[in-house]
Amino acid sequence: MTNALKRLCRSRELKLGHFLIEFATPGIGHILKGAGCDFVFIDMEHSGFSFETVKSAVRYCEAAQLPAIVRVPSKSYHHIARAADIGAEAVMVPMVDTDAEARELVSHLKYTPLGARGVALGIAHDNFRGAGPVHERLAAANERTCLFALIETASGVEHVDAIAAVEGVDGLWIGHFDLSSSLGIPGEFTHPKFVDAVERIGAAAHRHGKALGRLVPDAASGIDHAARGFDFVCWSGDVWALQEAVRGGLDAIRAGARPAAGRAKQARA
């Protein structure tokens, strides 16, 4: 098993990825790696993916040497620890509101002495290896795993500096739709309240040397966020990228076929 995601978290260079919410197919890791992705974001919160599905998807990405971030569906211990057990290098947790909560999440993810995660060795997360001193294997697992705190509530913004300061939090991720809703301005991403919240989150990440990421819908938004110091930029998602590509092709054929059909009709007249 590698520590590729940990190395990405420690670098402030731009990393580009893609969001998976529907297509956890055997070739997906190699497809995205071939497209130039530096990481993949696998979602469990809104996708309906089971742990069995995500376990397979993580292995597909490992085969392509593509680091995976897995967003779990809740802040509960069994979701976080299980995601780590199935091999997720990074776990993203939704709705992180306070630094006390962030410390608890770190404890769910890390083995002793850094946390209280239940010990399971010789399984997926350590590539089924069964040898070596236990303390070394626990330390290796602790070094490998990363935690992204999803800042998407007004409380999260209020406590973001303290959250970013927590040891074991490797990155902050902005959940833009939920954050705008929590601020009372759903979908208003140019509203001063939203802009100020994003600036506060970014400042906290930079102050404490933590990674900073978000999902962007298009290239222009990605360029803008990279210029503002976001180092993890996740462009679009599998569903929307496929729809956009298919729609573009079909619309182009329809637009070109109408004049061609008209000319053919005139020629027959």
Domain ranges in the chain? 4-238
In terms of pTM, does the model score above 0.85? yes
* Cα dist from 209 to 104, 166, 171, 172, 213, whole Å: 21, 11, 9, 10, 13
User: Is the CA virtual torsion 205, 80, 57, 2 positive or negative?
Assistant: positive
Can you give the pLDDT at residue 269? 62
Q: Are 91 and 146 in contact (CB under 8 A)?
A: yes
Distances (CA, A) of 251 to 112, 237, 238, 240: 57, 21, 20, 16
Domain 4-238 bears CATH identifier 3.60.20.10: no
- Whole-number pLDDT of residue 2: 77
First to last CA, the chain: 70
Q: Quick one: pLDDT at residue 259?
A: 78
Weakly modelled stretches of the chain, pLDDT under 50: none
Q: What's the token pair of residue 216?
A: 């962007």
Active site residues: 46
pLDDT the model gives residue 242: 97
